[in-house]
Amino acid sequence: MAIKKKHLKTKNVYKVTFSIPLEISKEFKTASLVGDFNQWDPKKHKMRKSKKTGEFKINVELPSGKKYKFRYLLDGVQWINDDEADDYIQTHFGDAKDCLIVLE
């Protein structure tokens, strides 16, 4: 998986690109980026599957100076983490870990 961060100084936000590679995406029809920045709602940040590369991808602008928890939801049932996250934190359920992205 991959996370690319670009700071946009004029807006004081980061443009963050989240992607799920073909080796994983080929097994699923849909993917959503969910996290505390969208109230964990899988409908708010649906990822698009690239016809060229087969990977799921989405660009999101997030305010600078914060840390955000997130995960990917595949086909509405399977949760996965990003191996390039800045850190990981225990979920409030205590059964898994959320990814953490730091935008400072």
Residue type present at position 101? I
Question: CA–CA separation, 32 vs 35, rounded Å?
Answer: 10
User: pLDDT tens, 6-48?
Assistant: 999 899 999 999 999 999 999 999 999 999 999 999 999 999 9
pLDDT of residue 41: 98
Supply the range of the domain harboring residue 37.
2-103
Confidence of residue 93 (pLDDT cuts 50, 70, 90): confident
- The CA-atom distances, in angstroms, between 72 and each of 9, 10, 17, 104 are 28, 29, 13, 22
Radius of gyration of the chain measured on its C-alpha atoms: 13
Q: What is the pLDDT of residue 94?
A: 86
Q: What is the CATH number of the domain that holds 55?
A: 2.60.40.10
**Token duo for residue 104:** 């400072």
Other CB atoms within a 10 A radius of the CB of residue 56 amount to 25
| Tokens matching residue 11 | 């807006």
pTM of the model: 0.94
Which amino acid does the sequence have at 20?
A: I
What's the token pair of residue 25? 């995406």
Q: How many structural domains compose the chain? A: 1
